Amino acid sequence: MGEKITRVSLTLPQDLLDELDHLLEAQKYASRSEAVRDSLRDFLANYRWRQGLSGKCLGVLAVVYDHDVRGLTDTLVDIQHENANIIKAVQHLHANAKNCLETLIVSGRAEDIRKLVDRLSALRGVKQAKLVVV
């Protein structure tokens, strides 16, 4: 007998669903479910990789967010000030009328960087937070 499958439902903005459907067609995915499973596997693998970081790290954290989400910009600035010990530089780009990209150069203990990434990723309005360690 195969792996037990559990049905869940998702609430997505229409533009994100449209983009997903376009990708499904272009990549010949069998279903939305398969694409979401692949995405979740990638999300979980990235999380497990961050958990395995140790020692002192140097890297770049790229954060894409919706600047129209009330209070988000202030929260991001507050978090950056709270983490001034590991955030060495910040660059801000207005990606389009709604979205901003910030790159944070980080250096410090892996545990502190991991906590920062996890905290930023969980904020309402943050669309992506990706860490690259060099």
Domain ranges of the chain: 14-49, 55-133
The CA radius of gyration of the chain, in Å to the nearest whole number, is 17
Q: What is the pLDDT along the chain (134 residues), one digit of tens a residue?
A: 578 889 989 899 999 999 999 989 999 999 999 999 998 988 888 888 888 888 999 999 999 999 999 999 999 999 999 999 999 999 999 999 999 999 999 999 999 999 999 999 999 999 999 999 98
CATH topology (fold) of 55-133: Alpha-Beta Plaits (3.30.70)
pTM: 0.76
* CA atoms within a 13 Å half-sphere pointing along the CA-CB vector of 87: 20
Residue (of 26, 104, 110, 101) closest to 64 by Cα position: 101
